[in-house]
Structures are given as structure tokens and as C-alpha cells.
Homo-oligomer: A and B are copies of this chain.
Amino acid sequence: MELKEDTPIVILNFKTYLESTGERAVELASACQKVADETGVNIAVAPQHMDLSRVAGAVEIPVMAQHIDPIRAGGHTGSVLAECALEAGARGTLINHSERRMLLADVEAVISRVRELDMVSVVCTNNVQTTAAAAALEPDFVAVEPPELIGSGIPVSKAEPEVVTGSVDAVKKINPDVKVLCGAGISTGDDMKAARDLGAEGVLLASGIILADDPERALLDLVSKI
């Protein structure tokens, strides 16, 4: 699968749950791989920094970083260098996630950096206006997620459908090449279908799958109505 071309895409953000740490990160990614293989849906995973190379070594589906810093190689202790992420196996990165917001100038800098390395950029945004702003920076994807719905179990497609349609409209006006994802509260096949019906080309999700009793089954349900 190509991270960029094959939509709809499902990106599973592993965040920093114990349920998606270390050995369990590898297992979760393997479950994603299995569902992708069975269903033909493009599923990408974004494990924690220190799990990334192990996960990338264990699965064939695209692996992404959760964050990359706006730096060039040098003295930046504790930061994530794009080249290091790439060599570890990352084919793209989330940028500006609601739990890791970035300065406007740094969002732009990271998009440019990863573009140079032919990596895929997914900029997370919190409302229609910031989605429009992000689209002007020409990333590959924007993923709009109203922060108050993240981890809530209430899907954005139901609670605030106008955020999804408004984001799609705003992006298409500014830069039709940018693809729009949505996230926050998404966990079921109905949620994913609703997101698609609103114009989203995929979804970004996390706890709805990670904390499910059976993540593989939850993923299968998620992609069942595409």
C-alpha cells in the first residue's frame, strides 16, 4: 500500500497507552496488518517513537511517526530528527496533533522537511479555520479533530458533521490536492461510513480501537461498511 495514494485510509495512532507499548505495539500493528490484508483497506500505524523501528521491522503496512521536530541534524538532544525517523522505517508523520500542538512556523517547517525526504505529512487541526490554514501549507493530508471529542466515544461525524464538511469545503477551495481525514470519537463501521459520506477520505483514530477488548475485531468492524 502507498500511504498517500490509496484512500480511504485508516491511520491508527498508538498514542502512549500501555496497551500499545512495546511488545503490545508489535501485536497491535500485526492485527492491523491482518485486517489490511484481509480487507484490502489501507491501514497505517503510528507507534511511539521508541517502538517505531521494531514495529516497522515486523509489519508491511505503512508506519508513521507520531511527531517529528522542526530541526536539522545537529545538537538537539531529545528531539526527533526526520532522517532518523525515515531510517527507522517511518514513511510519514503526524504533525501538530492536538496532544502535541506546534507553533505555526514549526508546522510549516516540518511539512517542508518531510517533503524533502519524500515522507508523507498529516497535519492535525482542531476546527475549520485551522484546517484551512493547514491546507495553505500544502501537506499531503489534514486530519481535523475537535479536541473536546478526542477519546470521548462520541464520533465527530455525528456530533459535529459541519466540522467535517466545512473542512472539506475549505481545503478544496485552498488546495484541492490536500486530502482530508477526520478523527475524534471514531470507532465503528457506522462512524467510518458517516465520515466518508461527509467527504472525508479516511479517518485518524486511537482509543476506540486500542482499548477495545478485541482490537482486530474492532478494526474489522470499522472498515466493514466502506
Residues on A facing B (Cβ under 8 Å): 13, 15-18, 21-23, 46, 48-54, 65-67, 71, 73-81, 83-85, 87-88, 90, 94, 96-108, 112, 125-127, 129-130, 132-138, 150-151, 170, 174, 206-207
Q: CB distance B73 to A17 under 8 Å?
A: yes
> Which of A15, A54, A102 gathers most chain B CB within 10 Å?
A15
> Which of B51, B53, B104 is the one whose CB lies under 8 Å from A101?
B104
Q: Measured between alpha carbons, how far is A137 from B135 in the docked complex, in Å?
A: 11
Q: CB distance A78 to B53 under 8 Å?
A: no
Could you say which residues of chain B place their CB within 8 Å of the CB of A138? 129
Nearest neighbor of A56 in chain B, beta-carbon distance: B50
Q: CB distance B206 to A75 under 8 Å?
A: yes
Nearest neighbor of A151 in chain B, beta-carbon distance: B75
> Which of B13, B51, B75, B84 is the one whose CB lies under 8 Å from A77?
B13
